[in-house]
Structure 1
Amino acid sequence: MAHAGSCRCARVAVETKAEPFRRAYCHCRDCRKQTGAPVMAFVGFMDDALTWFGTPKSYRFGGVERLFCGDCGSQIGYRDERLSGRVYLALGFMDDPEAHPPTFHAFSKRQMPFVVMDDHLPRFDDFPPER
């Protein structure tokens, strides 16, 4: 199955035939600050399995590189230096987000109290143990 994603203006896009290794919600403060949303949903792929069209801009802070489109500002995803070779793409960046339902919640202890997500998925106070 092919997976693809693009920013709002389509100047940055990605394609892969690889399957994702991770699909999750993240409630950490960093993801909230980056996305401007109370929770981030993402899908993880091995970086070398992706074919990029256009080059995303990036911002690096505290070991995390955040990717975004320099033209339309769309959030693309992030890389974490502690998890080399992996890229986590924002679910909203994906062309078919329904194909990537999250399977757990990370940093659930930081979930905003007004965000009600009664999905019965596993919840971790930090990163899951099998990072």
Structure 2
Amino acid sequence: MTKLHAGACRCGLISVEIGSEPLLRSYCHCRDCRKQTGAPVMAFVAFRDEAVEWFGTPKTFRSAGVERSFCEHCGSQIGYRDDQLPGEIYFTLGFMDDPERYPPMWHAFEQRRLPFLHIQDDLPRYDGFSVER
């Protein structure tokens, strides 16, 4: 596999190399993503599972058809998988080595955006999911 993209947790115990281009990049304003990241909005980048080579094994938490992953040593949030989007993995931009390479394409769950958060851009805004499920 040719490494095109890479990511790692804060302590480096968990890392990935990715051999394909992203499927999509997005902001998500839903409550679950805010809870996962501890931030007022989550930004993520998606890849096909088969393009990802893992170094280390993250811990996971599963609820309502979504599996969220994190590093048990440093606590870094890694990303999530959704049972309704098989074969895909969604990495938080904070996990990626070069997050500036993944500018979001749109906003998901805009109706749940916190009222004090204002992101000035011309990106499409969806009241719910931004991808077909």
State the 1:17 CA deviation: 2.0
Q: Structure 1 runs of 4+ off > 3 angstroms?
A: none
CA distance in 1, matches of 2:120, 2:12: 34
- CA displacement, residues 76-99 of structure 1 (integer Å, 9 cap, x when unaligned): 000000001100000000000000
| Unaligned 5+ runs, structure 1 | none
User: Partner of 1:50 in structure 2?
Assistant: 52
Quote the offset at 1:130 in angstroms: 4.1
Cα drift, residue 33 of structure 1: 0.9
How far apart are the structure 2 equivalents of 1:14 and 1:79? 15
TM-score (norm. length: structure 2):
0.95
> Structure 2: which 5+ residue stretches go unaligned?
none
- Cα RMSD over matched residues? 1.0
- In structure 2, the residue matched to 1:87 is 89
Percent identity of equivalent pairs: 63
Tell me the residue number matched to 2:64.
Answer: 62
Structure 1-normalised TM-score?
Answer: 0.97
Query: CA, structure 1 residues 116+54, in 2 after alignment: closer, same or farther (shift >3 Å)?
Result: same
Which residue of structure 2 lines up, in the alignment, with residue 100 of structure 1? Answer: 102
Superposed, which structure 2 residues align to 1:2-81 within 5 Å? 2-81=4-83
